[in-house]
């Protein structure tokens, strides 16, 4: 039976589940750390189901977790500062795929009822991760009436981004394997959401810049900053069929910048990188410091730039005399966002390979 099989092959199941977690992440260990307690919770659920199934009708709601299962959930809860909702969804998808692959390979395919229990377990586990993201607390600062319109714009921007991220997580969960029959549909949904987020990244940043909406500079740990920026970028990479890597970020690197503007700049640079990198290509993000300056680099595999286009590409579309299909106004917005945070944005062409976009900011020392 499946329960016995999982207990006997715990190490192999966990090993394969970790292997299924997306590679190239600077926080891959955080992704993997969610798998073991999730596996323990699955075992407890199957054991509980085994004893309650006899003489009782199975319901759409899983049995209440035992003390051990609640303990596993507590472990996951204490890791929230290190594990994002997307990483939790990835852990669920990786464990589900490992369980199903090994079970069918070893001729221990679950019966219909057990399969239904597995699907409900992973569905509810993913739902908890998504609801955690949805319940994240975002609040706009309430200031005097003179500044209220700009605060409303800030609040709208934050809330719209949050709701879109929740939708993307749900699409990613479907695509990763909560139901194999919905993979194609989830893929189309993810593409639509990616397009919507790309439009949002441009429009909201442009609106905030044109209204001179600034929440002021704050001290930003770049390791935490990339931890927040990586999951949506990784989903966009999946939609564009690109590889995506974030190099490990030194936790001692800090900058004083407008978080919203810096986030918008990076998002627009990544949108551009994914748009012009050919399918199967690689987009990378590297953050480094010299002691006085910090560089946030986005490296793509777009094939390089036409001659003398390096600086011209940052100009507004109306000034470039090129079609919208050639260049995107997102680069203009990205430069304005970086400059709003006291930095500079430049591009270095690598002929025949791609481009390196470099955000340069003063480094802050604690």
CA angle 225, 227, 231 (to 5 degrees): 120
The answer to whether residue 139 is domain-embedded is no
State the number of CA atoms in the 13 A half-sphere of 34 facing the CB: 28
- For residue 338, report the phi and psi dihedrals to the nearest 5 degrees: -65, -45
Which among 165, 61, 77, 71 has a CA at the least distance from the CA of 120? 61
* Pair 119, 195 in one domain: no
Alpha carbon distance 258, 339 (integer Å): 10
Give the pLDDT score at 23: 52
More confident residue, 36 or 150: 36
* Pair 347, 212 in one domain: yes
* Pair 214, 113 in one domain: no
Give the global pTM.
0.70
* Pair 172, 318 in one domain: yes
What would the pLDDT profile of 268-288 be if each residue is shown by its tens digit?
A: 999 999 989 989 999 999 999
Give the pLDDT score at 135: 56
For residue 302 the two structure tokens come to: 């777009």
* Pair 149, 84 in one domain: no
Final residue of a domain: which of 86, 110, 134? Answer: 134
More confident residue, 236 or 76: 236
What average pLDDT is seen over the chain? 75
* Pair 41, 114 in one domain: yes
What would the pLDDT profile of 309-365 be if each residue is shown by its tens digit?
A: 665 666 554 544 444 444 447 888 899 889 988 899 999 988 889 999 999 999 998
Give the pLDDT score at 236: 85
What residue has token string 């989830």? 186
More confident residue, 139 or 249: 249
When divided into structural domains, the chain yields a total of 2
* Pair 53, 202 in one domain: no
For residue 8 the two structure tokens come to: 């006997």
State the number of CA atoms in the 13 A half-sphere of 147 facing the CB: 12
Give the pLDDT score at 52: 58
* Pair 91, 38: CB distance under 8 Å: yes
Residues found in the chain:
366
């Amino acid at each position: 039976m499946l329960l016995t099989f999982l207990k006997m092959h715990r190490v192999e199941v966990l090993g394969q589940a970790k292997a299924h977690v997306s590679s190239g992440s600077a926080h891959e260990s955080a992704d993997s750390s969610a798998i073991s307690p999730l596996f323990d919770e699955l075992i407890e659920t199957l054991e509980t189901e085994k004893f309650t199934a006899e003489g009782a009708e199975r319901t759409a709601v899983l049995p209440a977790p035992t003390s051990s299962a609640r303990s596993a959930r507590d472990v996951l809860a204490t890791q929230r500062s290190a594990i994002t909702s997307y990483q939790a969804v990835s852990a669920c998808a990786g464990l589900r795929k490992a369980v199903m692959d090994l079970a069918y390979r070893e001729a221990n395919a679950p019966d219909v009822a057990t399969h239904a229990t597995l699907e409900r377990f992973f569905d509810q586990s993913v739902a908890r991760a998504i609801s955690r993201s949805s319940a994240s607390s975002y609040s706009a600062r309430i200031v005097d009436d003179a500044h209220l319109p700009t605060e409303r714009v800030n609040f709208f921007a934050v809330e719209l981004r949050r709701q879109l991220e929740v939708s993307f997580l749900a699409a990613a969960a479907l695509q990763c394997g909560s139901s194999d029959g919905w993979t194609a549909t989830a893929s189309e949904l993810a593409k639509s959401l990616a397009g919507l987020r790309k439009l949002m990244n441009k429009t909201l940043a442009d609106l905030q810049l044109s209204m001179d909406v600034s929440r002021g500079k704050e001290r930003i740990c770049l390791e935490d900053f990339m931890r927040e920026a990586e999951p949506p970028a990784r989903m966009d990479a999946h939609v564009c069929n690109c590889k995506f890597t974030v190099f490990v970020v030194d936790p001692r690197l800090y900058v004083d910048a407008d978080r919203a503007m810096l986030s918008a700049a990076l998002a627009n640079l990544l949108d551009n990188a994914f748009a012009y990198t050919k399918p199967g290509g690689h987009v990378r993000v590297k953050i480094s410091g010299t002691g006085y300056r910090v560089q946030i680099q986005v490296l793509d595999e777009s094939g390089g730039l036409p001659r003398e286009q390096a600086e011209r590409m940052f100009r507004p579309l109306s000034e470039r005399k090129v079609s919208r299909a050639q260049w995107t106004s997102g680069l203009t917005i990205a430069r304005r966002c970086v400059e709003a945070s006291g930095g500079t944005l430049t591009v270095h062409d690598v002929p025949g390979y791609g481009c390196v976009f470099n955000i340069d900011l003063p480094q802050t020392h604690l």
